[in-house]
Structure 1
Amino acid sequence: MKFGISYSTPYHGIDPDKIVAYAQHAEDCGFESLYVPEHIALYPGATVGRFELPPALPYFDPLDCLSFVAAATRRILLGTGVLLLPYHHPVVLAKRLATVDVLSKGRMRLLTAGLGSLPGEARAMGVDFSTRGRRADEAIDVMRLLWAGGEDGVSFDGEFFTFDGLCQFPKPHGATRLPIHIGGSSRAAARRAGRRGDGYFPGGALDPGERAIQMDIARSAAVEAGRDPGTLEYTRSGPIDMTADQVEAFAAQGVTRVVVSATATEPGRQHEEMSAFAQRFALLERLSG
């Protein structure tokens, strides 16, 4: 089992010193990865499920934030939870991801991409909300094509993106592709994870039966696409006070990574929560092993 931790600016704040201290302490504790979320723009009345999002919630650009974190850390992997893929042009996004990966010496390895659930956000970005799934699928294909392409250039002719003989350098650090995990809470997201993803990170508001169904869908979709379902990582969110029994239950469901988050807002208490979790699950020993 791998253990990541998230930093949410709407809850934990936007003070750069706090972000650096949080990331550095997470790294010192032995956490594998640090995740940050994304919203590009909010508006009065925006709701996710039954919850209304206050329009003044502050969200950093996730890749800019992770670049900042990378400069202040040495080892911790960088993740998004989730980046709203349909609202980014994949040619630009491929360049930005490869740049962060090169500058961090290969740590931009836990991109989790979702579709977004706010119609107003889609309209603001000029995206037809009903097409965002197809747009995301094409975007994944485009980025992987660009990362793998050579000096002769690559071409793509899709519903949303078209180009001929395009070259993009530098490549990701020591690689010709970056992992792309799929986030979401729907069966369509599970199918996307199986067909195109390197992992699935489902949302939190699912009952155990639906979770099991979705993972079965993801694995079946991988088989249908000629991919090995055994390579599909399964990430779940969990509470920072979770017990060993809870982690064992996750492992029994096939979970390969748990992402927690500090509940405190004061840095000292945050560090105590992280340290207690790290000691409970011997994160530094796992890291060295």
Structure 2
Amino acid sequence: MRFAISYSPAYHGIDPDGLIGYARHAEECGFEAVYLPEHIVLYPGATIGEMPIPPTLESPDPLDMLAFVAAATSRILLGTGVLLLPYHHPVVLAKRLATIDALSRGRMRLLTVGVGTLPGEAHATGVDFTTRGRRTDEAIDVLRLLWGGGAEGVSFHGEFFDFDNVTCYPKPYGGDVLPIHIGGSSRPAARRAGRRGDGFFPGGLLLPDERRAQLDLARAAAVEAGRDPAALEYTRWGSIDVTPERVEALAAEGVTRIVVGATAEEPAERYAQMDAFAERFALTPV
């Protein structure tokens, strides 16, 4: 089991010293990665399910924040939970992600993408909300094509994106194609994870039967696509106070990574939460 930690600007604010201190402490404790969320825009009346989202919620750009973290750390991996892929042009995004990965020496390796749930966010970015799933599928293909293409250039002709003989440099560190994990709490997200993803990261508000059904669906979709279902990483949210017994139960469900968040109000208390977690699970820096 691997353990990562999230940083929420909504709770912790936009504090450069606080962000760097948090990431450095997580690295020193032995957490595998730090995750950042994304909302591109918000608006009065926006909700996720029945939960309202304050229009003043702090929502800085996660990739800019992760680049900032990368410059101040040396080992911790960089993740998004989740990046709203249909609202980014994949040609531009491919360059941004590869640049962060190259400058961090291969640490932009836990990119998790989702389709978004707010119609107003889609409208503000010029995206038809009803097409965001298809747009996401194409964007994933474009990202991988650009990262894997050589000096001869690559071409793509799809429903949303179209280009001929283009090159995209720099490449991700070591010439790799970056892993892309799929986030979302729906069956389409599970199918997308199996067909195109390197991992599946569902949300936290699912009943156990539906959660099992979605993982089974992701694995079945991988088989149908000619992919190895055993290679699909399975990430879940967890509490900073999670017990070893609960972790064992999650591992039995196939979970390979747990993402927690230090929730205390004061930095010193958050660091103490990280320390206690690291001691409980014998984390060691890589």
TM-score w.r.t. length of structure 1 = 0.98
Q: Secondary structure at the match of 2:175?
A: coil
Q: CA deviation at 1:110?
A: 0.2
Distance in 2 separating the partners of 1:100 and 1:265: 30
Structure 2 matches for 1:150-189, cutoff 5 A? 150-189=150-189
Q: CA RMSD in A?
A: 0.6
Distance in 1 separating the partners of 2:25 and 2:35: 14
In structure 2, the partner of 1:59 is 59
> Is the aligned partner of 1:129 residue 2:125?
no
In structure 2, the partner of 1:278 is 278
Paired AA for residue 116 in structure 2: G
In structure 2, the partner of 1:243 is 243
Q: CA deviation at 1:40?
A: 0.5
Q: Secondary structure at the match of 1:174?
A: helix
In structure 2, the partner of 1:2 is 2
In structure 1, the partner of 2:217 is 217
In structure 2, the partner of 1:227 is 227
Paired AA for residue 254 in structure 2: G
Paired AA for residue 207 in structure 1: L
Paired AA for residue 130 in structure 2: S
Distance in 2 separating the partners of 1:38 and 1:263: 18
> Is the aligned partner of 1:33 residue 2:30?
no
Distance in 2 separating the partners of 1:273 and 1:63: 26
Distance in 2 separating the partners of 1:76 and 1:175: 20
Q: CA deviation at 1:13?
A: 1.2
Instruction: Write the deviation string for residues 152-211 of structure 1: whole angstroms up to 9, x where unpaired.
Output: 000000000000001011100003300000000000000000000000000000011111
In structure 2, the partner of 1:208 is 208
In structure 2, the partner of 1:257 is 257
Instruction: Write the deviation string for residues 74-98 of structure 1: whole angstroms up to 9, x where unpaired.
Output: 0000000000000000000000000
Paired AA for residue 104 in structure 2: S
Matched positions, count: 286
In structure 2, the partner of 1:100 is 100
Q: Which runs of 4+ in 1 moved over 6 A?
A: none
Identity %: 70
Q: Any gaps of 5 or more consecutive residues in structure 2? A: none
Instruction: Write the deviation string for residues 15-41 of structure 1: whole angstroms up to 9, x where unpaired.
Output: 110000000000000000000000010
Q: CA deviation at 1:60?
A: 1.0
Distance in 1 separating the partners of 2:122 and 2:223: 32
In structure 1, the partner of 2:267 is 267
Distance in 2 separating the partners of 1:43 and 1:73: 34
Distance in 2 separating the partners of 1:249 and 1:14: 36
Q: CA deviation at 1:144?
A: 0.2
Q: Secondary structure at the match of 2:174?
A: coil
Distance in 2 separating the partners of 1:175 and 1:195: 23
TM-score w.r.t. length of structure 2 = 0.99
